[in-house]
Amino acid sequence: MTSIATPLAAGRRAASAYTLPPLKFGYGDLSPIIDEKTLRLHHSLHHQAHIDALNSVLQPYPEWQGMTIEDLLRSLNDVPEAIRADVRNFGGGVANHQFFWKILSPWTSKEPSGDLAQALRRDFGSVDAFRREFEAAGLRHFGSGWVFLVANPAADFKLEVVALPNEDSVLNIGRMGLLTCDLWEHAYCLNYQSRRQAWLHAWWQIVDWETVALRFDKFRAGHRQA
């Protein structure tokens, strides 16, 4: 393993390392749905810890550095076996949290509109039926994980609700993520204790539907990330 004390390794690492993306809102702006302390810890400690761990895991593998986190996870099955589980966990943690912050906003329109609303009605019957299915999937999921609304590019961008364990990413199962909610207790236990249902139900109030609709449009237009 190369020492990170050499200028070459240090330079290479600095050029390719993942960094914590800033939030588009302040730590107190999602309160009371997400209280300030929870958001601060979740972003500056939990998300940062996944980034630091992933950078450290990839440090001896320069050929796997410098990719977008999305491309890295899509290539997970080709990642060297020695680091595949770590990339799955820490890389998934980086991608899931980055995605989560993007689809939240304190200035939200509360309801989906346009093509996205139409697709939700087509695939779930109604927007409310979609919300019920999403909450039920999140509640039913045992242990830590994430619940997602995804589009399936292999099936004409049909919308689906999936829950995945730990820090698994929808990128590794060939889906494009439109919306996600964190089911780990660190996401909600200060405010909601163990009441995951209350968290899932309150959380809709900070969903940034405009960003979700934009992701849907970009994926259908052929973009691989949004």
The residues binding Mn ion (CB under 5 A) are: 182, 184
**Minimal distance, residue 129 CB to Mn ion, in Å:** 27
> In this complex, which beta carbon is closest to Mn ion, that of residue 112 or of residue 145?
145
Minimum Å distance from CB 188 to Mn ion?
10
Nearest residue to Mn ion, by Cβ distance, number only: 182
Q: Quick one: 103 or 159, whose CB is closer to Mn ion?
A: 103
Comparing CB distances to Mn ion, the nearer of 56 and 98 is 98
Count other Cβ atoms within 10 Å, centred on residue 205: 12
- Please check whether residue 181 is in contact with residue 138, taking contact to mean a CB–CB distance below 8 angstroms: yes
Asked if 226 and 215 touch (Cβ cutoff 8 Å), the reply is: yes
Nearer residue to Mn ion within complex by CB, 50 or 131: 50
Which C-beta is closer to Mn ion: that of 157 or that of 184?
Answer: 184
For residue 121, what are the contacts with CB-CB under 8 A and spacing of at least 6?
127
CB closer to Mn ion out of 45 and 155:
45
Using a CB cutoff of 8 Å and minimum separation of 24, what contacts does 40-48 make?
41/186, 42/97, 42/182, 42/186, 42/187, 43/97, 43/101, 44/20, 46/93, 46/97, 46/186, 47/20, 47/93, 47/94, 47/97, 47/98, 47/101, 48/20
For residue 136, the minimal CB distance to Mn ion (Å) is 21
Q: How many C-beta neighbours within 10 Å does residue 26 have?
A: 12
CB of 146 to Mn ion, least distance (A): 8
How far apart are CB 100 and Mn ion at their closest, in Å? Answer: 7
Q: What is the distance between the alpha carbons of residues 45 and 71, in angstroms, rounded to a whole number?
A: 24
Please give the single-letter amino acid code of residue 204: W
State in angstroms the smallest separation of the CB of 184 from Mn ion. 5
